[in-house]
Structure 1
Amino acid sequence: MPEFPEGLPCWADATLPDLGAGRSFYGALFGWTFDEGAEEYGHYTVAYSDGHPVAGLAPQLPGQEVPPAWVLYYASPDIAATAARIRENGGQLLAEPMEVGDLGSVLLGWDPGGVLFGAWQPGRHRGFGRRDQPGGFCWSEVATRDPAAADAFFPAVFPFRARRMGDDDGMDYRVWDVEGQMVGGRYAPGPEAPPSAAPRIDIYYAVPDCDAAVDTVERLGGTVHTGPVDSPFGRMATISDPQGAGLSVIDLSTTKGEPPPLEP
């Protein structure tokens, strides 16, 4: 199981009102298998790709008002210190640091612009067992209408180095790296985005064929919001499952064009 430097995305999960329907949808979309979900952890279910842990599905609790959604977790060697930096830099905690048995410790928070994220201090559960391969996590992007707040907040909470991605269309995009490894992006939605578009982290999972994945989403009652579209990074689409939790799928092997340069 890989080790994760502080700030590297190390886990993602979806909170869903119908866990069985979630298993059926994501099992068909990604070929995932699932454990039984221990009662002591609220039937939280781990998804596996070829035997490697790649995601979690959490049941929506009675009275829980949070809509179905995917959440990204950044690695933390000291969850209490991470919580303190969140508060010190204008963020808020949705869930205070909490031990999850011997699996690890978790928190949930918002940046000053309302972007929901988590942090995970690993115990027995280390995090993703597969990345950058079909069925595994491969990328994430903070989408926010307050980019200045995100640019100040996230590198203060995690050891991110930010670089601007240059392009010809004026898009405001930053790339974050940790120890020389790119860990995610931050972008400000353009004027074409609906005013109601919520601040969020877009989570990408790799698929062997984006068009086939989109067909599967539609066949199973999900929604395709954009794509498939080609890019220098892969052919991608944004989707929601039938319960409304959104994420992105990308075929990393099908690229078109040259990536925009990164400023030092």
Structure 2
Amino acid sequence: MPAAPDHFPAGAPCWADLSSSDPGRAREFYAGLLGWDAVDLGREYGHYFHFLRNGSVVAGLMQNSQETGFPDFWTVYLSSDDARATADSATAAGGQVLLGPGMAVDQGSVAVLGDPTGGTVGVWQPETHRGFARIDEPSAPVWYELMTNDYAAALDFYRTVFGWETEVLSDTEDFRYTTLQSEDRPVAGVMDAAAELPGGIPSHWEIYFGHADIGAAAEQAEQLGGSVLRLPEDSDYGRLVQLADPTGAAFWLMAATEA
């Protein structure tokens, strides 16, 4: 099975966490759907949880306070060798620093940025916590995608701030898509979603987890109190379904098999 690298290259997705208004219910849902265990890191860490699959950390979980006014959501984090320098670069490139940068105890340095198109993305500079321990397999992260309403501005921002090397996958009016290339392989995508995003929905990052049976997963998600946002569909990259957990946090499942 694919282990994550010991060190994620700068700019590559390296972590994701769920901000949930009901962490207990979230733990039950993802345990049932993806087989995740959850470990509370304790008071010192603000009772942040690590989601584990077969003992390997695959995501995080924290309380979404009602005071934020934000719905529950998944955040994708990009790796940085210097979170403060990345935050400074983001500001200079027209973005915003929404949180940090600051130390997450001994785990690493964290920041949350707003890109110029309205997307929110995390920054992670690892110390004792490198990020994902497993990727590209069932019940682990397999893909990350920015749905943006300003494609050109988004690409300019991420290239400038994170040093992205990109490759155009498609450039037609119907489908405009660019991938982030890291160590000669695609690791994330940027989609021109200006025609797709409903009014009032800003640019945003989406995360995909692997699953061996997409149809069964969709049924199970509903049984566990979640919902199907987009019905299972076939794509050039495998079968997909978009789901929401019981408190509304959206994510995707993508067909994946054991290596």
Name the TM tier (shorter chain).
Answer: over 0.9
1:159 and 1:178 in contact (8 A); partners too: no
Which digits, 9 at most, give the CA deviation of each residue in 1:242-264, with x for residues without a partner?
101111001135xxxxxxxxxxx
Within a 5 Å distance, the mapping from 1:86-105 to structure 2 comes to 86-105=90-109
Which digits, 9 at most, give the CA deviation of each residue in 1:74-109, with x for residues without a partner?
111111111111111000011020101111010001
Q: Corresponding residue for 1:259?
A: none
The normalised TM-score by structure 2 is 0.93
* Structure 1 Cα separation of the partners of residues 202 and 19 of structure 2: 17
Q: Corresponding residue for 2:235?
A: 231
Please state which structure has a larger fraction of its residues in strand.
2
Q: CA deviation at 1:241?
A: 0.7
Greater relative contact order, per chain length (Cα 8 Å cut-off, separation 6+): 2
Within a 5 Å distance, the mapping from 1:52-71 to structure 2 comes to 52-61=56-65, 63-71=67-75
Question: 2:31 aligned with 1:27, yes or no?
Answer: yes
2:10 and 2:162 in contact (8 A); partners too: yes
- The one-letter amino acid paired with 1:158 is F
1:42 and 1:59 in contact (8 A); partners too: no
Question: 2:154 aligned with 1:150, yes or no?
Answer: yes
Q: CA deviation at 1:160?
A: 1.2
Q: Corresponding residue for 2:125?
A: 121
Moved more, 200-209 or 169-178: 169-178
* Structure 1 Cα separation of the partners of residues 58 and 8 of structure 2: 14
Q: Corresponding residue for 2:192?
A: 188
* Structure 2 Cα separation of the partners of residues 30 and 148 of structure 1: 35
Q: Corresponding residue for 1:80?
A: 84
The normalised TM-score by structure 1 is 0.91
1:7 and 1:74 in contact (8 A); partners too: yes
Question: 2:248 aligned with 1:244, yes or no?
Answer: yes
Among 143, 154, 167, the alignment partner of 1:139 is: 143
In structure 2, stretches of 5+ residues that fail to align are: none
Q: CA deviation at 1:239?
A: 1.1
In structure 1, stretches of 5+ residues that fail to align are: 254-264
- The one-letter amino acid paired with 2:16 is A
Q: Corresponding residue for 1:7?
A: 11
Q: CA deviation at 1:63?
A: 1.7
Three-state SS of the structure 2 residue aligned to 1:35 is strand
> What's the C-alpha RMSD, in Å, of the aligned pairs?
1.5
Q: Name the CA shift for 1:147/1:24 in 2 (closer, same or farther; >3 Å).
A: same
- The one-letter amino acid paired with 2:52 is Y
Q: CA deviation at 1:178?
A: 2.1
Q: Corresponding residue for 1:216?
A: 220
- How many residue pairs match? The answer is 253
